[in-house]
Structure 1
Amino acid sequence: MSAKMMKSLAFYGPKNLKVEQRAIPVIQDDELLVRITYAGVCGTDNRIYQGTKKISTPRIIGHEFVGEVVGVGRDVKEFALGNRVTVYPMIPCGSCYACRGGRKNICVNRTTIGYEIDGGFSQYVKIPAIAIESGNVIIIPPGLDDKIAAASEPIAAAYHGIERSQLKEGDTVIIVGAGPIGLFHTQLARLKKPAQILVIEPQEEKRELAVLCGATHTIDPQTADPIEQVLNLTNGEGADVVIIDVGIPKVIETSLDYVKKGGTFLIFAGCPHGSKITIDPNVIHYKEINFTGSSASTPEIHHEVLELLASGELDVSELISEIVPLEDWQRAFEMKNNFLGIKVLIDPWR
């Protein structure tokens, strides 16, 4: 392969991804070039592949990545060659009503690396000036393994979800689904010192990981009535907080009964475009349930998560399931599609 070419995984439409050679991006004076070390495969990447999330094509996808700075525009002063960095992928406009209100994670005009801008399923990625100016490029703390740092972006999103839930010490929290986000939520919830962390998950291996991450109880919804178990474990009250980490509308509908009066019901997982749920509005009305959602995060939270990982307060090393070469992308996506494994990383240099 020519020194000026790179391997990339390009999205051309639903079920149409191709590993191909592309020219290594040429950076401008206000941009960075990053040599990708690892890129995480996300549920949203799989939704793009399956066609349930729409983006423009062609596009190099992948929004969870780490790498080394190998090119620095002459006007960029904050970074130097050799810096290990990760990039918070969602870039806010800074001027819409959401940004002005301090909620740039739900920016109306946001641009995302891996969606609107070429992303990390490649050997190199160009970081645009707006990402640098917005503080989205973050230096990885010394001593933090690149593989762990590659998982930091979804952990930052999970962290924001915990904050949105207003979970506090002494609460009971139920986490529905023990995929990567559910397990991240379990670890992060533990830091709030709740009385109980209940994880509902049908796969035994994932329930075992949930206990490793801090769950006090796990429930297999296939072998017992979850609502009966929840009520038994909460003195008939239900949970203070319920977090939905499974993007299945039916699961959302059936999980509403887990929350107690005055509790919070938070939808974290994205569902296929056009999904609908049917719920009894009286449940929300009479129980005064805080029914809310959580989307994305911020560079500031991403930075905080990196520090938690570097300090050892969070340990996700057991959650890295596999590292695959770029050419093996299909197996990684099928694992995600079939809820197998936890966190799969792509190494574009293998």
Structure 2
Amino acid sequence: MDNGVSAQEQQTATLPKTMQAVVCYGPEDYRLEEIEVPTRGPGELLVKVEAVGICASDLKCYHGAAKFWGDANREQWIVTPVVPGHEFTGTVVELDDAAREHWGVEVGDRVVGEQIVPCWECRYCTTGNYHMCQVHDMFGFRHFNGAMAEYMVYPQRSIVHKISSDLPAAHAAFTEPLSCALHAVERAQITFDDVVVVAGAGPIGLGMIAGAAAKFPAEIIALDMDERKLELAKRTGATMTINIAEEDAVAKIKELTDGYGADVYLEGTGHPSAVPQGLNLLRKLGRFVEYSVFKDDVSVDWSIISDDKELDVLGAHLGPRCWPAAIRMVEQGRLPLDDIVTHQLPITEFKRGIDLVDSGRESIKVSLIPGGQP
């Protein structure tokens, strides 16, 4: 019987009034709280969060890294209080016609959202470089609550992609770190003849290996200290692995390349020692791509970059225009995600999740499942 109530209004009526969420108030001051379910505005999406990954940058933010909280050389970037979480997937539970037309989604669709919320007005956004937006609002850090909550809102300015609902939710959420890794690979301009070295076989490094493998270079060499991760690197596309706790990576790679060194170095560890390592193992005129977020400043001998080798040193930030490829790779099973996504925890165990990422001994990728069971 038609009672005059739209399907959208019926959906809204079934939503709870409050939800559990992790709220960041400052370094190491993250609290599990009961807060109001957010209300979407015109043209926005309300999404029920299915999974959210804990990123290395989340960890550094938690521990008070200057990049987020400022120091003598930086202004504070994070705006608190804020719900963290920028690697996420969820199901659309409420939208209007404007949102439907803008994103081509419906209630019940599973979606992922890019972590940046561009202004679409600055010189970077208007020239296609939205990932470097001058305003640089981001889910989970700045001006928009993230996904460590049962529900979240995607504002009109956000970038939304549909993804298969047949995937485990934590696998779908891996699209975000994979898109970042693919952008680093794009920056490297890998050719068929290149010897590519990837530092770190964690989530970002494994994504770099998978992306590099799609370019079919001569060699992909993975560096790490964890044999379990190095085995995953082989399954993801590495042609060779080096345990840097047991072998001298610089000497080994020089030996493998007739004394020249590698063509490309992708840094995905966030550890200061990985920077000089890369500079030293590259050949002259090699390419160094830095992706990681560092807790502290890193110093190197810049003469290696200039007078000694004339290196191309490239930064990489976020995953612009790489999301469709990342979604295809996840949907097609190009990475062994059952073994990469090692831990899925309820949101009530967020602190355990942070500790797992911090130690790195048990986990590779840790996800929170706000709804309870994965």
Give 1:95 shift: 2.8
Q: Which residue does the alignment assign to 2:89? A: 66
**1:338 and 2:365 equivalent?**
no
Q: Quick check: 2:87–2:176 contact (8 Å CA) kept in 1?
A: yes
Q: Which residue does the alignment assign to 1:87? A: 113
Partner Cα separation in structure 2 for residue 50 and residue 260 of structure 1: 36
Q: Which residue does the alignment assign to 1:233? A: 256
Q: CA RMSD in A?
A: 1.7
Partner Cα separation in structure 1 for residue 233 and residue 105 of structure 2: 38
2:23 maps to a residue whose letter is A
Partner Cα separation in structure 2 for residue 209 and residue 167 of structure 1: 22
Q: Which residue does the alignment assign to 2:7? A: none
Number of equivalent positions: 343
**1:130 and 2:157 equivalent?**
yes
Q: Which residue does the alignment assign to 2:340? A: 319
The two structures have a TM-score, normalised by structure 1, of: 0.93
1:334 maps to a residue whose letter is D
Q: Which residue does the alignment assign to 1:187? A: 210
1:106 maps to a residue whose letter is M
2:46 maps to a residue whose letter is L
Q: Quick check: 1:309–1:315 contact (8 Å CA) kept in 2?
A: no
1:213 maps to a residue whose letter is T
Most deviating of 111-120 and 90-99: 90-99
State the secondary structure of the residue aligned to 2:59.
helix
Most deviating of 71-80 and 210-219: 71-80
1:22 maps to a residue whose letter is I
Describe the superposition over 1:209-254 as per-residue Cα deviations: whole angstroms up to 9, x where unpaired.
1111121111122222221111112221111100111112232123
Q: Which residue does the alignment assign to 1:245? A: 268
Partner Cα separation in structure 2 for residue 219 and residue 3 of structure 1: 51
Give 1:192 shift: 0.7
Residues 120-159 of structure 1: matches in 2 within 5 Å? 120-131=147-158, 136-141=159-164, 143-159=166-182
Q: Which residue does the alignment assign to 1:203? A: 226
**1:37 and 2:56 equivalent?**
no
Describe the superposition over 1:73-110 as per-residue Cα deviations: whole angstroms up to 9, x where unpaired.
35322322111111111122223232333322122222
1:227 maps to a residue whose letter is V
Partner Cα separation in structure 1 for residue 177 and residue 16 of structure 2: 32
Q: Which residue does the alignment assign to 1:4? A: 17
Q: Quick check: 2:195–2:217 contact (8 Å CA) kept in 1?
A: yes
Q: Quick check: 2:196–2:265 contact (8 Å CA) kept in 1?
A: yes
Q: Percent identity?
A: 29
Q: Match for 1:292 among 298, 308, 314?
A: 314
Most deviating of 303-312 and 21-30: 303-312
Structure 1 residue runs of 5 or longer lacking an equivalent are none
Partner Cα separation in structure 2 for residue 58 and residue 283 of structure 1: 41
Q: Which residue does the alignment assign to 2:197? A: 174
The two structures have a TM-score, normalised by structure 2, of: 0.88
Q: Which residue does the alignment assign to 1:106? A: 132
Describe the superposition over 1:113-135 as per-residue Cα deviations: whole angstroms up to 9, x where unpaired.
1112101000000111221xxxx
Give 1:296 shift: 0.6
Partner Cα separation in structure 1 for residue 96 and residue 127 of structure 2: 32
Partner Cα separation in structure 2 for residue 219 and residue 315 of structure 1: 20
Partner Cα separation in structure 2 for residue 258 and residue 270 of structure 1: 21
Give 1:29 shift: 2.1
